[in-house]
Amino acid sequence: MLKAPPKRPYLLRAMHQWITDSGHTPHVIVDAERSGSEVPRAYVQEGKIVLNLSYTATQRLKIDNDVVEFDARFAGVVHHVRFPVSAVMGIYARETGEGMMFAEQDAGPETPPPTGPAPAEEGSGTPKRPQLRVVK
């Protein structure tokens, strides 16, 4: 059986397109400490950096399955920015705050579902139901 590719690059590209098509500015939150991250260190705060991924703020933007890279100006100086897709923690529209934070499991291959019975809630004798949460 083929391994499913990670979801994160597909979700990142889809959200980037949706935010852009909505007339908003896509920003990403990147883990600047992740191996392979080449970002302007002067703008890193608490190990993270927020980057504007709009087509007007970047040149040669490329969002591949493994890496995001582009050229952009920071304080008038052009920097080549490159980071693994797995370092992207979330993407949102600057104007509205709408977007998506990524779970760690979105960075890599899906883990197979556990074999055997689902864990039961204490004392109930019924399987525990999955929990959904609203992402704003």
* Per-residue pLDDT reduced to its tens digit, 102-136: 987 655 543 333 444 444 444 545 555 666 566 66
| Cα distance between residue 127 and residue 89, in whole Å | 31
Q: What is this structure's pTM?
A: 0.75
Return the bridge partners of 73, or none.
78
Any idea what the Cα angle at residue 26 is, between residues 22 and 32, rounded to 5°? Answer: 165
Domain 26-98, classified CATH 3.10.129.10, yes or no? no
Mean predicted lDDT score pLDDT of the chain = 85
